[in-house]
Amino acid sequence: MAEEEIGWNTPVNGAGEFIGFNDSGITQFQHDPLGSFAKEGTQNAQDAHCGDKPVHVSVRRIEVPTSEFPGIDEFTSIVEKCAAGDSSSDKKVAAFFDKAKQKLAADTIDVLVFTDSNTTGLVGPCELKKPFFALMKARGSNLKTDDAALGSYGIGKMAPYANSDLRTIIASTAYLDENGMVQRLVQAKSVLTSHHDGEDVREPNSYWGVRKGFLPADPDMHGGSIPSFITEPHAAGQIGTTIFIPFFNGGEDWAEAFMAHYLTSYFLAVHEGRATADIDGTRIDSSTLVQVMSDPAVVASLEGNEEALQKFMEAKAFHLALTSPEAHRVQRTFGRLGFGTLDIVAGDKLPSKVSVMRGGMQITAEMEGLLRFAALPPFAAVFRFEERETNELLRAMEPPRHDCFKVGLLPESKRQMARLGLREAAREIRSELENLLRGEIKEEENLTELSDHLGDSDDANSRRNTSEINPLGRISIRDKARRLSMQGRKKATVAGVQVGSENEGISPSPGHSTSKKTTTKSKDSPADETGVTSATDQTSAEKGPAATAPADEGRCATTNFTIDRLRGFRLDGSRMWKIGFDTEPETDCLMSFAPLGYADSKDHLEVLSVEGGTRVGRFGVRALSSPTGRMSLKVEFKNATIGGARVVQYAV
């Protein structure tokens, strides 16, 4: 082809529509451009993995003469027309183009170069259903060759544009065609705004390459028209893809910041040897991961970006769950979504969060159902499903930023199954955390974040003698049953609770009676998901549920005590509360409930249903503690919300 066929070209909008500057695909990544590209660029490389070696990415910044930018004169003309367009009256848009003109007038430009290897490359040609087309030309579609792909060249492909002061990228790739021959393609694209060109209205997207058809250039055919810095990464036919970001807007510490973002999302992939990187000369692999994450310069690079800094520090904690000698691993089926792996480590100053991964990439540490663990000691956990089909389903639920799961993104036929599957997994993960960590339960945890909504403790004390339950005041989560002396014990009823003696050194709280049972739970015994065997009511109606029974085989005399401390938390999106406390082993407990701090109130909470025990009347629950003395059950209350404030504690 003749040299003049290569250059910039902008499609004409045949309908005369005018598309403004605010491209939603770009603006959603502008809150953290470098972090977004570190995640999205690596994700696309992982998606194209080929062979047995780990996916490797190389990231560097270079400086090139402005004159070497492809088609610099034509590109400058396009920018000037956009600057003079209908959006020029917008101050934000005007400021963007003023800065763009300054960049174009400079002698040199900064270019970020992101190259992947051990991948398939960006397979072409540039036609529908091919990855090269998906990256450079497809709008609002996800086109990949691998259904289990981490990324789909959907909206996430717009992340690199947010890192360019002129919203421009250059893609260069080498791949094997169907005949096993190496093919190379190069194309640049800029996303600005509609503009007038004579009588025509041009689209916001402009392309550099073969003008006719807006196609990529071929270095073997158009080598003389392609700057050498663009062809260099794949000049010898190295399979892979390079994304150039000209007019790069990163700061001086961009490399350290990129390392932090890369490891925040991919610490698991690096740890497992599935990913490596070379970022501005710093090698990142499983052997250097700890060293890089501990580098003060890497941490300092995130100063001023509190969200990114917090996530990076959490990633360091999650990595401990994978490497600490004190860590605990669970591998089993987690509900209907299948087999998974959960790594847990406990320790001071850990974030008490669960990192949910997919394909070695962290998706979220704030999955619904795994948000609050106030009654557990500090911990960090990493969870991932291992089955391919499940990971495909999770991928389909991810929004463009890949930072959560949204069931609504699935076809309607799959939503209910996915919703239930995620809830089951969250419950199973919680159960494992509680089983492992319950021996180190914190004695008290103040929910200070609720103080603005729930008032001061003085407010609660001033209303203690009223007949109405006061939702105000300090709320705490506590654990551990406290036995009363014989003098202080009083019987409890289901609908009303008598309180223990104040001479016992505790604040008044409702009591309950118990009947010990000398039973051993076999593997075949029915149990709910918390492992608590349901107990049947063995007390006659004449004696009442709190009556003392004579000792006989399999049953001891009733023992009365008051729960001064217990923990309870509300399961998301329901009136169901999960309640646990420690008592005597294999003890038959009869319980009624009231908000802690208002034990003198008669407004006990009406019980609708119970898991792990038996409902007794309107207000009572009966259950058997485990052989270790652990009581764990779920209770659904009718009036679990008072005055709009959550009551997170119940006395038993």
Could you tell me if 19 and 68 lie in one domain? yes
Q: Is 313 inside any structural domain?
A: no
Task: Tally the domains of the chain.
Answer: 4
Q: Is 322 inside any structural domain?
A: no
Pairing of the two strands 620-624 and 614-616: antiparallel
User: How high is the pLDDT of residue 559?
Assistant: 36
User: How high is the pLDDT of residue 590?
Assistant: 79
**Are the beta carbons of 391 and 148 closer than 8 angstroms?**
yes
467: tokens are: 């007949």
Could you tell me if 426 and 536 lie in one domain? no
**Are the beta carbons of 584 and 559 closer than 8 angstroms?**
yes
Q: What are phi and psi of 433, to 5 degrees?
A: -60, -45
Could you tell me if 361 and 298 lie in one domain? no
AA identity, residue 374: A
State pLDDT tens for residues 24-53: 889 889 999 999 999 999 999 999 999 999
Which residues span the domain enclosing 40?
3-250
User: How high is the pLDDT of residue 382?
Assistant: 98
User: How high is the pLDDT of residue 622?
Assistant: 85
Could you tell me if 242 and 265 lie in one domain? no
pLDDT confidence of 418, banded at 50, 70, 90? very high
Q: Is 315 inside any structural domain?
A: no
**pTM for this model (two decimals):** 0.68
Decide if pLDDT at 289 tops 90. yes
Decide if pLDDT at 290 tops 90. yes
Q: Which comes out higher in pLDDT, residue 165 or 614?
A: 165
In the predicted model, what is the mean pLDDT of residues 229-237?
94
Beta strands in 519-629 (DSSP E): 558-562, 567-570, 576-582, 587-592, 594-595, 607-611, 614-616, 620-624
Q: What is the rounded CA–CA span in Å between residue 509 and residue 249? A: 61
| CB proximity list for 615: less than 8 A, separation 6 or greater | 607, 609, 621
Q: Is 467 inside any structural domain?
A: yes
Residue 90 DSSP label: S
User: How high is the pLDDT of residue 244?
Assistant: 98
Could you tell me if 51 and 197 lie in one domain? yes
User: How high is the pLDDT of residue 257?
Assistant: 97
Residue where a domain terminates, one of 439, 472, 507: 439
Most confident of 260-269, 467-476, 600-609, 622-631: 260-269
Q: Is 459 inside any structural domain?
A: yes
**Are the beta carbons of 75 and 190 closer than 8 angstroms?**
yes
Q: Which comes out higher in pLDDT, residue 195 or 646?
A: 195
DSSP state string for 126-154? SSTTSHHHHHHT--S----S-TT-S--SS
Could you tell me if 93 and 232 lie in one domain? yes
Q: Is 268 inside any structural domain?
A: yes
Could you tell me if 105 and 34 lie in one domain? yes
| CB proximity list for 304: less than 8 A, separation 6 or greater | none
154: three-class secondary structure by DSSP: coil
Q: Is 307 inside any structural domain?
A: no
User: Would you call 175 exposed, middle or buried from its count of C-beta atoms within 10 A (0-12, 13-18, 19+)?
Assistant: buried
State pLDDT tens for residues 489-505: 333 322 222 323 332 22
Closest alpha carbon to 274 in 386, 360, 201: 360
Q: Is 23 inside any structural domain?
A: yes
AA identity, residue 227: P
Pairing of the two strands 353-358 and 379-385: parallel
**Are the beta carbons of 16 and 196 closer than 8 angstroms?**
no
578: three-class secondary structure by DSSP: strand
User: How high is the pLDDT of residue 628?
Assistant: 78
Could you tell me if 279 and 335 lie in one domain? no
Could you tell me if 259 and 246 lie in one domain? no
Could you tell me if 297 and 393 lie in one domain? no
What pairs with residue 111 in β-bridges? Answer: 62, 246
Closest alpha carbon to 209 in 142, 273, 137: 137
**Are the beta carbons of 539 and 513 closer than 8 angstroms?**
no
Q: What are phi and psi of 189, to 5 degrees?
A: -145, 140
**Are the beta carbons of 601 and 469 closer than 8 angstroms?**
yes
Residue where a domain terminates, one of 220, 250, 280: 250
Could you tell me if 239 and 344 lie in one domain? no
Q: What is the rounded CA–CA span in Å between residue 485 and residue 502? A: 11
- Biggest CA pair distance of the chain: 105
Could you tell me if 561 and 466 lie in one domain? yes
Residue where a domain terminates, one of 424, 439, 454: 439
